[in-house]
Structure 1
């Protein structure tokens, strides 16, 4: 009988120790889970801050781009620095091309910072490219876009090229229905 009682005591001790160990493991896992949740929340805040910073940087770059183009539009001597067209253009045409560049870049950056979906960008671009000067600019700068292969901007430029082909081939005067807007990715 004494042996049974010693065994039962040891069994209770082993059981208590096992339960204590299990409780310790559960507490450690819960503490780690809390730490992991805190780390995940911090990472999400950092990602959001990085995204906001990227948009702010893009907005700053767009302002700088506009300032440079404005100076070139206002001063024909400065505009000559940006004259990279394959065929000579008049001062008036160069100023128009610079403004077309500003209008297109503004639209592109508006999409990049998330203010326009790709579908909305497409619809605005379809309207912008109704202007003959903007189309001339687009053609005159084709060689610039050829060097963008593999970039997001190259994909968007290809979308514009396809839209222009569709507009040229359309047998309707209702340009606002021509082309299939892309799906946002």
Structure 2
């Protein structure tokens, strides 16, 4: 078993990391209190309740001041026994630095899960489009506008769709900035067949909820296509990089 002195230092470091807003004297006294109980005998719930009453307001200084000692001293023996039997609960109020850190970690975790789901969906969509390009019967199941689109034109439309989806996915996962997305879409829509696909599939986007990411990109491409239709010769000058 480790000696008492190293154990005190380790517990002191643990408390200092967990309660960065607390003073050193409070951390030191709390670590000694933990060692006095934990190194001598098996701690009980009553020990935990007593520790919480003694140090909660000193380790979490953001909370209101310590409870009235006179009132605590006057508590009945029955209340003390009830508190000892109750499972101590950790305070929900944290120092600002720890609260901000937990919020940051949670936000990063949510964003990582979102990116993972987007990439998985994009991969599945790409695989389906690849199969449709190889099999005309599968290609007929994907909307490309009018029913009488020739097979060769339909394959071109499917390839444009795959390119468009790839650019959108890169932007949605953070691999591409908004102005770069604008440039990539402008190059894609330079091709007449890409603009033809975009106009043919307009009904597909008519019911798209406004305000989401795909709707923002679709609105951007609508403007690019409109600009090309007005002046397609000087394609490099079409459109201005929009604000994100």
Calculate the TM-score normalised by the size of structure 1: 0.77
Say whether the 8 Å CA contact 1:83–1:94 is kept in structure 2.
no
1:71 deviation in Å? 0.7
1:95 aligns with 2:155: yes
1:169 deviation in Å? 1.9
1:75-154 equivalences under 5 Å are 75-83=135-143, 85-150=145-210, 151-154=212-215
SS of 1:41's partner is: helix
Match for 2:216 among 152, 155, 161? 155
| 1:121-168 deviation line (CA, Å, top 9, x unaligned) | 001100011111111110110001111141332222111111222222
Task: Name the structure where helix makes up a greater proportion of residues.
Answer: 1
1:174 deviation in Å? 3.1
Calculate the TM-score normalised by the size of structure 2: 0.60
Residue segments in structure 1 that go unaligned for 5+ positions in a row: 1-23
Match for 2:235 among 175, 179, 185? 175
1:29-44 equivalences under 5 Å are 29-30=60-61, 35-44=95-104
Q: Distance in 1 between matches of 2:124 and 2:104?
A: 30
> How many residues end up aligned between the 2 structures?
160
Residue segments in structure 2 that go unaligned for 5+ positions in a row: 1-54, 64-92
1:28 deviation in Å? 5.6
SS of 2:241's partner is: coil
Q: Which residue of 2 is the match for residue 17 of structure 1?
A: none
